[in-house]
Structure 1
């Protein structure tokens, strides 16, 4: 879901298993991409995918057409279409005129590649002018739906439906792997019957995976590797038990369209104490979305989180910011799901403090309690309405399994920088999630609204000890800027001075 992100650049290279599993490994963007396949197991092939930390997302290098044209596309669990920028789109021509290097086979492509349909002998238009998608940041992509060869690693999907971004202001495309009901054409036609077989569905239909399910291991913020595994789980990539939660239906459509689960608790924990945070929105419907860089919670609980860490809301960038030195704080926030018996995932400050710039030095605070310190973006922001979002700043700390057949989510504590692997495939179409236990008496309905109580902030000193001389006031509602649908998207240039 590109809508709520500070976008990343990087690339993903896919790998294919010939026995019901497909895995993509994640590698940092500043490392040279490895082009070749390497055998991960007797029945599985793995190829590298890359991530650029500075912009915060995960991207896949794939090929489209005959002969193959290479493109780098964002991997997104929050959307459902594959779409590629046309080499003739104005944004790609502008990209080329700036001298950006292209991974496309055509010379006039966007920085991360574009697609020239005139150079593909297998290109077929199946919906002229029917592709149209818009994001809440105001960006968009429009054009035709087409079918063509789509390759991930050594596997070819010969009849993949994709959108061609002919009129777009986004210089790269997306690989959406959500529910087919969430495809752009369904909204355009206002008909569920308009849905087509998107990537995970087609992978199942062509026998690459046994069922429509995949697991996500992003690893930590500074890690060089991670993976998304289609058709199975890797028991060596998480710690403790894998807990199975029911996905919540979209209330407006009464259907499963997004990966929504109920967040039922948030606690702040540090060396100085522990605080149970509250919200009138509990249980909070949250979307587990890899296409979102930050995490967005209701304003009342976001204000408590900000107070714990000494974050300051800046109207200049519509965002909560903290001194970059807070990345060394040992404090953590623990997120609980599905009620008292559900999984609990702790997220450290080293995963929540992000650079504000893509190159050069971070800006510094001009005045106030943090004067002279480098400023960074805080990974938990506030949002005005549900569904709320847990993006990459949360997902790196969780191993998440997305089961689109049984409409369930598996969650466990991630094993950062694991060097071992034990892939277990789903046994068959609709088989239960391997090695996962259903949460007993889980919260599956909103019920009565939560209550609000101001915490004692006993944990605050432990979070802010790196800035011990600073006195940070408790946030009041009047002091907060509320992140709304029109202000989510933000790209910060270098040299921007705050406060």
Structure 2
């Protein structure tokens, strides 16, 4: 999991249990609602555009304590901050505390400590959470998972907990006990709420009011065309799977003036589909080509690439193709890749250069530090993605933005094929396409006829928003979890 250095979008999810599926719905700015029909449970909660990432309102313990947790396909533990953790109790101007809630074991009649001092998770930026493992009831709007194993963050630099839904082999316990435990997706199957350990993700567009993660099935109304399945790649070609890593075969930029294939010196492009990452991280050289296409510039002040906000209105897109020339392709428009720097207040503006006076936005493609690279929410919103943890496959199709219809199809049984999916032919697990263009023919179309870049961004910002941006950088979670068996 890796979150944007700046707040982008926070979304609260609610759950629905449906014949052999469990669905968490997203709805924007509405009070909680719960309805029951035909043995199913449908729920919706409000969209909070404050923290980067997607958040789920849950209850932990008996009676249930309300906590909001971040959904993360890039990690595997459910963990909650302890009500006694310093980050929750020592509130100050620089530390707002655990505003999304915390957990007090003394207030739960069903709390059972199962691993004192054994919960220890660390992220690549140095942030961490440490404490105990425990078991307790875990509820999402009427759907109760009994005796779920979770981490209790007694000492944490992170103010909110997470719902990790990845492979067991990526659990934090691997590094402390050299063992794994049944995590949330597996327990859902063990308690017969779903047939197979799999789920599908439909984040919808950046400003959408609805979206969902559906455990145990797919929704055929949430994508266009056909679902295409591709193989998940294990580290070093082994049989142990730890991340949702796939072969990213090519990235192309298309505008009214042409199409360019972005190039990279990397021998292999391995990318992880990670909902806990708000942005998309490509190799340095490939990211720089993407920036040149749209006129983005790297800001040392912010530690990321930025663009004029008006770029989001440009008629163009980036295409991501997976597992070879015949693999699935997802187009991501500029409207999904240009993001506000922070939530609330006036945006900072360029104070000099060709974009003087224009509002500054964050660009959704950033530079990664090494393989595997990360396809976060700026990519995932444009895709309907099925994660099959039994068959070690991903199925993907272009999303059907703002669909109001639903047709849920459950996995038939444990290990059954992904419903409605066809395997990509001639899959490449390691290669990628090479750039054959000279120059950037698509760039002028992105720039609306102006090939000038944004210019030097050192000390060119103006406006009161910069103080807020700086504080947001300091307090927003950053970093993939590094524990257990990982990529080397």
Output the TM-score relative to the length of structure 2: 0.90
* Matched residue, 1:488: none
CA change 1:174–1:9 in 2 (3 A) is farther
Q: Distance in 2 between matches of 1:13 and 1:212?
A: 20
* Matched residue, 2:117: 129
Flag the structure with more relative contact order, 1 or 2, with Cα contacts below 8 A and sequence separation at least 6: 2
Q: Which segments of 5 or more consecutive residues in structure 2 lack a partner in the other structure?
A: 459-464, 472-488
* Matched residue, 1:406: 391
Matching of residue 80 in structure 1 with residue 80 in structure 2: no
Matching of residue 149 in structure 1 with residue 149 in structure 2: no
Matches within 5 A, 1:385-396: 385-396=370-381
Q: Distance in 1 between matches of 2:446 and 2:59?
A: 46
The offset of 1:188, in angstroms, is: 2.3
1:239 alignment partner, SS class: coil
1:428-482 per-residue CA deviation (whole Å, 9 max, x = no partner) reads: 00000000000011112x25x76566642111111111xx445129x9xxx999x
* Matched residue, 1:106: none
* Matched residue, 1:181: 169
Q: Distance in 1 between matches of 2:152 and 2:196?
A: 28
* Matched residue, 1:471: 452
CA change 1:493–1:164 in 2 (3 A) is farther
Q: Which segments of 5 or more consecutive residues in structure 1 lack a partner in the other structure?
A: 101-108, 482-490
Q: Is the 8 A contact 2:8 2:340 kept in 1?
A: no
* Matched residue, 1:94: 90
- 1:202 corresponds, among 158, 172, 187, to 187
The structure 1 segments of at least 4 consecutive aligned residues displaced by more than 6 Å after TM superposition are 96-100
Q: Number of aligned pairs?
A: 465
The offset of 1:275, in angstroms, is: 1.3
Q: Is the 8 A contact 2:4 2:52 kept in 1?
A: no
Q: Is the 8 A contact 2:254 2:316 kept in 1?
A: yes
Matches within 5 A, 1:100-115: 110-115=98-103
Q: Is the 8 A contact 1:81 1:184 kept in 2?
A: yes
1:372-426 per-residue CA deviation (whole Å, 9 max, x = no partner) reads: 2111110000112100000000000000000000000000000000010000000
Q: Is the 8 A contact 1:281 1:450 kept in 2?
A: no
CA change 1:5–1:204 in 2 (3 A) is farther
2:254 alignment partner, SS class: strand
Q: Distance in 1 between matches of 2:469 and 2:57?
A: 31
* Matched residue, 2:400: 415
* Matched residue, 1:104: none
Output the TM-score relative to the length of structure 1: 0.88
Q: Distance in 1 between matches of 2:237 and 2:278?
A: 26
- 1:48 corresponds, among 44, 48, 73, to 44
Q: Is the 8 A contact 2:330 2:383 kept in 1?
A: yes
- 1:32 corresponds, among 30, 33, 41, to 30
